[in-house]
Amino acid sequence: MSSPLRELDHRSTDGIDVTMLWDQLEDRVLVSVSDAKTGEAFTVPVPAGRRAYDVFHHPYAYAAATSEPRDLMAAGS
């Protein structure tokens, strides 16, 4: 069985990986962030009415505005 998460885009800069994912089961987009230097990782669901690429390019701003960024493991990665 294939993963319910499909990678839509990915970028990496200075040890920080940002990946845009489509959750096929819930039909929504998530942006995951992983920092190799600190070991921190989180996901941010793209809010309704927002452009996914805005969240993809500014995930820390959206994580701060989101009441609860989700743990990366909760997203199934």
User: pLDDT band for position 57 (50/70/90)?
Assistant: very high
Asked if the model's pLDDT at residue 29 lies above 50, the reply is yes
Using left for φ > 0, alpha for ψ between -120 and 50, and beta otherwise, residue 66 falls in beta
Asked if the model's pLDDT at residue 70 lies above 80, the reply is no
Asked if the model's pLDDT at residue 4 lies above 60, the reply is yes
- CA-based Rg of the chain, rounded to a whole angstrom? 12
What is the pLDDT at residue 14?
96
* H helix or E strand, kind and range, residue 27: none
Burial category of 22 from C-beta neighbours within 10 Å (exposed 0-12, middle 13-18, buried 19 and up): middle
Asked if the model's pLDDT at residue 68 lies above 80, the reply is no
Bridge partners of residue 32, in order along the sequence: 19, 43
User: Residues 7, 54: contact at Cβ < 8 Å?
Assistant: no
